[in-house]
């Protein structure tokens, strides 16, 4: 049978879709590209925002236009939270919840359409099992996302993820080193440690996230390791200290702030203060002046007056951060914030988003200019067939393009950064990673 997949939402969802694909392939099925005729279609959904819900409906309709007789299964966060709503979408045969997600391949063998949609969604208990997942980015095998943590025990007032994914759980500590070796052997040069609340990693044997970071640093797995988003209260001085001296971890953090207003942070039930966040950013930059720091911000949270928004804006303006991911606050059912007063009109939200995105571009270009004349290791990822230029990312998350031969793929090179043109820095190759073994121990090939 031919089976197509579509993934919405975060990198973790992509990693889990890869896991599902592997299960179906082991069962003798063929994974085909979404949008081509298929016997079955599986949509892995997200529900972080209203747009994600809408997108899910559109995807199902698109799938059915190409393959009207295909068996359609929907899973993921939206499926866990709104199974009945999904079951009403025409053509949907089955809805699978978070607990059932990795049993789909066993539960659905024949892909025969049902007369009425079936719902396989159970309540999430506290003893959910951790299921491994990993995914590669494009076909280039340069970067893999490795899920080492899932679920969340926090209760941010705007977020449905703990309801959709259940409580925090983690990959066994000893398994992480094995997975890194497997990924290295599969040809990856970079691994992004991923999780829903990654910093809350807590192994069944008691190790915490700082232990993971120390273990990987000592392991020297011959690939570079990036930490995906980490909550500011969980990014401890110990983690900053290890990464600042590491030849394995890259100088790049993504730290959600959500708001720079102490009043809004309290209403969001976040577990840190804006002042503490500022201290953290400064301490990182002191230890690693070249470190890139990305920030998530939510705009238009209920009660965000002009004055409180200005607090966020000037706070971010004052910080040595590199870029922002700006999100429009989206009211989610069953969250405390859904009944908060002080809804922000869409036009006001739009104007605030625009201001923050402009600030983000300014910060990013400022950072790019600060890196001009410095040398970085880049893993060539894509080649523009028209210009012949390769592009990739530095360790500190600068998008760079440089001229090189077509055979460059997957050979880490040392690139001298020049001026930026928009969001891309122009560079030239000045050597290979192996030329600089001491600074770039992570890239020395296994002999």
Given a contact cutoff of 8 angstroms between Cβ atoms, the answer to whether 1 and 111 are in contact is yes
Q: Which residues bind ligand SF4 (CB under 6 A)?
A: 152, 154, 156, 159, 161-162, 196-197, 231
Residue 48, CB-side half-sphere exposure with 13 Å CA sphere:
11
Q: How far is CA 356 from CA 159, 177, 202, in A?
A: 22, 39, 35
Residue with smaller CB distance to ligand SF4, 134 or 229: 229
* DSSP assignments along 396-410, one per residue: T--EEEEE--GGGTT
Minimum distance, C-beta of residue 188 to ligand SF4, in the bound complex (Å): 26
Given a contact cutoff of 8 angstroms between Cβ atoms, the answer to whether 304 and 267 are in contact is no
Residue with smaller CB distance to ligand SF4, 17 or 149: 149
Minimum distance, C-beta of residue 156 to ligand SF4, in the bound complex (Å): 3
Residue with smaller CB distance to ligand SF4, 131 or 441: 131
CA distance 442 to 427: 22
DSSP 8-state class, residue 36: S
- Locate 199 and state its tokens: 């910093």
- Locate 122 and state its tokens: 């159970």
Given a contact cutoff of 8 angstroms between Cβ atoms, the answer to whether 184 and 142 are in contact is no
137 contacts: CB under 8 Å, gap ≥ 6: 143, 144, 145, 381
CA distance 192 to 135: 10
Residue with smaller CB distance to ligand SF4, 258 or 414: 258
Minimum distance, C-beta of residue 160 to ligand SF4, in the bound complex (Å): 8
Minimum distance, C-beta of residue 278 to ligand SF4, in the bound complex (Å): 19
Residue with smaller CB distance to ligand SF4, 136 or 195: 195
Residue with smaller CB distance to ligand SF4, 75 or 160: 160
Q: How far is CA 338 from CA 159, 267, 431, in A?
A: 10, 12, 54
Residue with smaller CB distance to ligand SF4, 32 or 196: 196
Minimum distance, C-beta of residue 371 to ligand SF4, in the bound complex (Å): 30
Minimum distance, C-beta of residue 250 to ligand SF4, in the bound complex (Å): 22
- CA-CA-CA-CA dihedral for 277, 269, 305, 297, to nearest 10: 50
Minimum distance, C-beta of residue 197 to ligand SF4, in the bound complex (Å): 5
């Amino acid at each position: 049978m031919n089976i197509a997949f579509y993934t919405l939402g975060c990198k973790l969802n992509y990693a889990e879709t890869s896991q599902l694909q592997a299960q179906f392939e082991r069962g003798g099925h063929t994974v085909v590209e979404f949008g081509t005729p298929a016997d079955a279609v599986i949509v892995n959904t997200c529900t972080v925002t209203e747009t994600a819900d809408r997108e899910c409906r559109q995807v199902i309709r698109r799938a059915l236009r190409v393959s009207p007789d295909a068996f359609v299964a929907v899973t993921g966060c939206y499926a866990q939270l709104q199974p009945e709503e999904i079951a009403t979408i025409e053509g949907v045969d089955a809805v699978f919840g978070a607990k059932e997600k990795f049993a789909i391949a066993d539960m659905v063998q024949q892909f025969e359409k049902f007369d009425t949609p079936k719902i396989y969604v159970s309540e999430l208990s506290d003893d959910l099992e951790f299921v491994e997942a990993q995914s590669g980015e494009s076909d280039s095998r340069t970067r893999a996302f490795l899920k080492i943590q899932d679920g969340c025990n926090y209760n941010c007032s705007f977020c449905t993820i703990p309801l959709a994914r259940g409580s925090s759980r983690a990959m066994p500590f000893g398994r992480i080193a094995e997975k890194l070796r497997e990924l290295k052997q599969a040809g990856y040069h970079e691994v992004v440690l991923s999780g829903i609340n990654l910093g809350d990693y807590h192994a069944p044997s008691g190790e915490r996230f700082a232990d993971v970071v120390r273990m990987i640093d000592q392991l020297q797995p011959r690939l570079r390791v990036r930490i995906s988003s980490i909550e500011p209260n969980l990014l401890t001085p110990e983690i900053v200290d290890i990464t600042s001296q590491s030849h394995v971890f890259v100088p790049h953090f993504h730290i959600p702030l959500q708001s720079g207003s102490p009043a809004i942070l309290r209403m969001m039930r976040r577990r840190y203060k804006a002042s503490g966040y500022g201290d953290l950013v400064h301490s990182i930059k002191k230890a690693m002046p070249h470190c890139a720091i990305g920030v998530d911000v939510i705009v238009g949270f209920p009660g965000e007056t002009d004055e409180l928004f200005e607090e966020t804006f000037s706070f971010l303006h004052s910080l040595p951060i590199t870029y922002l991911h700006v999100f429009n606050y989206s009211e989610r059912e069953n969250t405390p914030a859904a009944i908060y007063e002080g809804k922000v009109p869409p036009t006001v939200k739009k104007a605030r988003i625009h201001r923050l995105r402009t600030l983000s571009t300014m910060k990013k270009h400022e950072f790019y200019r600060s890196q001009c004349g410095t040398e970085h290791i880049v893993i060539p990822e894509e080649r523009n067939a028209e210009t012949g230029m390769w592009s990739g990312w530095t360790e500190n998350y600068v998008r760079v393009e440089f001229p090189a031969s077509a055979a460059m793929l997957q050979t880490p090179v040392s690139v001298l950064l020049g001026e930026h043109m928009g969001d891309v820095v122009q560079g030239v190759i000045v050597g290979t990673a192996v030329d600089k073994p001491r600074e770039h121990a992570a890239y020395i090939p296994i002999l």
